[in-house]
Amino acid sequence: MPVRSRSRSLAAAAALLCTLALAAAPAAVAAEPDEYVALGDSYAAGNGTGWPDLSLSCYRSSLAYAPLIAKARPNTSLRFRACSGAETGDVTGGQTAALSAGTDFVTVSIGGNDVGFADLILSCVNTWDEPLCRSTVAKVDARIDGQLPARLDATYADIRARAPQATVMVIGYPKPFGTNVSCGQASGVNSREAPLLNGVAAHLDAVVRDRATAAGFTYLDPVPSFTGHDVCAATPFVWGKKAGVLDIYHPTRAGYRDGFLPLVRAVMG
């Protein structure tokens, strides 16, 4: 056989063998998506977005940080269980059922409703009743120290038991006020009450951080991201006075997108 013909035959045989090998090889297995479970209260569900398109009863919004992360992060599967008004008992009593041994990431924002943070805001929006505001602050502070630690411990223990391998991120609460409270959004809260409310938020965050750290979880502090974006800022990350009662003193769309989301993505990648 001529050398050239022999070379062509060998090349054809090699090509045939490659084709057969590829046909016999198993199909590439696609990587399993990261399982992300978002738990918590209204600060996780999406109150403040004005867009409860995923659940009206729980005010779950596609503009909250968890759905935004799942949409932007490749190969991420979200189980969104956060619900407006939730307390620690609601997390352990239903939300954590979404967790499993295969859960990769968990976010949770909880504790504010346990201590009556909503009642605190409503008690302090009337500048003419400062004594009521101060007395409510004292009651909430007492609950933060006396009741909340045990409730958080039980909640975090349930999360860890159900998702033993997960990276768990506990997200704190932002301070709503800056030094200026003269804008319409801050209407009803005076310059003496605003620091009281910020102080309660800081107290709540300190206890949440302490118990999250004790549980071996990652605490995410939103205060630096929200600083300069208070209710009277040019670009607020938190609403103040608002027509929708479910939105007052909750994150704006920018707060979820530019305040909370980067904190979580810094951990999740």
The tens place of each residue's pLDDT in the chain, 269 residues long, gives: 444 444 444 444 444 444 444 444 444 456 799 999 999 999 999 999 999 999 999 999 999 999 999 999 999 999 999 999 999 999 999 999 999 999 999 999 999 999 998 888 888 886 678 899 999 999 999 999 999 999 999 999 999 999 999 999 999 999 999 999 999 898 888 899 999 999 999 999 999 999 999 999 999 999 999 999 999 999 999 999 876 889 999 999 999 999 999 999 999 99
Helix axes 117-124, 193-214, angle to 10 degrees: 170
CATH code, domain carrying 185: 3.40.50.1110
Catalytic residues: 42, 250
Question: Domain span at residue 67?
Answer: 34-268
In sign, the C-alpha dihedral spanning 181, 182, 188, 191 is: positive
Q: According to the model, what pLDDT value does residue 19 have?
A: 47
Helices (H), 127-192: 130-146, 148-162
Q: According to the model, what pLDDT value does residue 124 have?
A: 86
Q: Residue 2 domain-assigned?
A: no
Neighbours of 73 (CB within 10 A): 17
Helix axes 148-162, 193-214, angle to 10 degrees: 40
DSSP string, 214-252: HTTPEEE--HHHHTT-STTSSS-SB--S-SSTTTTTSB-
Q: Residue 23 domain-assigned?
A: no
* Residue 269 CB-half CA count within 13 A: 7
Q: Residue 6 domain-assigned?
A: no
Q: Please state, in angstroms and rounded to a whole number, the distance separating the CA atoms of residues 103 and 85.
A: 25
Q: Residue 114 domain-assigned?
A: yes
Q: Residue 13 domain-assigned?
A: no
Q: Please state, in angstroms and rounded to a whole number, the distance separating the CA atoms of residues 65 and 107.
A: 10
Q: What angle do CA 120, 125, 130 make, to 5 degrees?
A: 80
Q: According to the model, what pLDDT value does residue 4 have?
A: 45
The edge-to-edge listing of strands for the beta sheet with 76-80 is 76-80, 34-40, 105-109, 167-171, 218-220
Q: Residue 8 domain-assigned?
A: no
Q: According to the model, what pLDDT value does residue 187 have?
A: 80
> Coil, helix or strand for 107?
strand
> Coil, helix or strand for 187?
coil
DSSP-derived letter for residue 260 is: I
- For residue 131, what are its two tokens? 């004594």
Q: Please state, in angstroms and rounded to a whole number, the distance separating the CA atoms of residues 144 and 225.
A: 24
Q: How many domains does the chain have?
A: 1
Q: According to the model, what pLDDT value does residue 29 have?
A: 54
Q: Residue 63 domain-assigned?
A: yes
Quickly tell me which residue has 């605490």 as its tokens. Answer: 219
Q: Residue 55 domain-assigned?
A: yes
